[in-house]
Amino acid sequence: MSSHSPHGQSPLRTVQVLGGGNAGSSAHVRSLAAGLVARGVRVTVCAPAEADRAHDFTGAGAEHVHVPRSSDPGSVAVLRAACTDADLVHAHGLHASFRAVLALSGRGTPLVVTWHNRAHAEGARAHLLRLLERRVARTAAVVLGTTSDLVDRARRTGARDARLAAVALRGPRRSEGHEESERPVSKLRAELGAIGRPLLMAVGSLDRHRGYDLLLDASRAWRRLDAVPLVVVAGEGPQRAELQRRIEDEDLPIRLLGRREDVSELLAAADLALLPGGGESRSVLAQEALHARVPLVAALAGGIRELVGDAAELVPPDDAQAFAAAVVRLLGDPERCELLRDMGTRQAATWPTEDETVAQVLSVYDELTQPRPMI
């Protein structure tokens, strides 16, 4: 579909709504905006200003409207104004979806919602999230889930129409010719302190559900190896101080690198990629690892099996011993590593392209909007 404005019709106008700007969903919206604009759709992205700075929605041809984070009481009013003459609103993530529900209250504008990940919380907050999920699922015309688990969850929560969404991973930025990508792997490994020893890598915000406690437990077993592997973790978050304290107190071979702009390069330099928890339903690290031909060890949680198939070492969740053993096995088995690299390349080739992702979303939009005669 080359254009979405045939003779006699005005262009479809969509509003994409983002909440706090989760990196995966923000990259998806950037890709979606570019693809929709290329097909003649008018796109407005409602997101915090920092999300536009990081992902350049305006550079993709979309209009950007700054909508404060959900904690700001003015955010719903700003969103309501931005959606005034939209043909369709598409919200990404639970909090953005709930704000869209409030903003569209009393209007007949169709709402599409994409659930990229399951929201994590404990205690009273978990109960609140369940209430939000129910309200969103029952209000949305269509709920798109990035994994079968999320689609099932949407149906159980009361969604009228829940479907599996194709979500492409935006290509690694290192192909864009950044100067630092000229660094040879050996130099990068030297900077990290991984000369003459394996380099293992994990990526993601330092939150409890990401499984870093398990990773620290597992790393104790690796200290017994002749060449003690170095584990580097790229990411920032509320668990930072607690994890750093444990690393120092227990003398663990782990470095917390904080937020990094060169994750693709770090990954390319690593011997193994590690995914110790189920923090993401469609893990960006898992996708990048397979694309980069880096063997992956992952806890069997979230949508990981659906994503990687047999192209990774999958171990039971919450089992530090099994996780540690899988890493030791792979480090001593170069043939298995090579097999995983080849299987990973084949698995990655089955994932949807950006074009396929845009085409699927556009077909949903077509179902929900009537032809718009020109005035």
> What does the pLDDT look like over 319-364, one tens digit per residue?
999 999 999 999 999 999 999 999 999 999 999 888 999 999 999 9
How far is 349 from 342, CA to CA, in rounded Å?
11
Structural domains of the chain sorted by starting position, each given as residue range(s) with its CATH number in brackets: 13-168+353-368 (3.40.50.2000), 177-348 (3.40.50.2000)
Task: Read off the DSSP letter of residue 294.
Answer: -
Average pLDDT taken over every residue of the chain: 88
pLDDT class of 184 with cuts at 50, 70, 90:
confident
Residue whose token pair is 């890709």: 31
3-class SS at 212? helix
How far is 133 from 155, CA to CA, in rounded Å?
11
Cβ atoms of residues 342 and 312 within 8 Å: no
Q: Does the pLDDT at position 175 exceed 70?
A: no
pLDDT of residue 22: 66
User: Helix and strand tally (H, E) in the chain?
Assistant: 15, 13
pLDDT class of 162 with cuts at 50, 70, 90:
very high
Main-chain phi, psi angles of 329, to 5 degrees: -60, -45
Q: List Cβ neighbours of 294 (8 Å cut-off, separation of 6 or more).
A: 201, 267, 268, 270, 271, 272, 273, 341
pLDDT class of 153 with cuts at 50, 70, 90:
very high
Residue whose token pair is 């950044």: 178
Cβ atoms of residues 313 and 261 within 8 Å: no
Q: Structure pTM? A: 0.79
Tell me, rounded to whole angstroms, the distance of Cα 94 from its chain centroid: 14
11 CB neighbour count, 10 Å cutoff: 16
179 CB neighbour count, 10 Å cutoff: 6
Residue whose token pair is 């989760």: 22
Task: Read off the DSSP letter of residue 92.
Answer: E
How far is 147 from 280, CA to CA, in rounded Å?
10
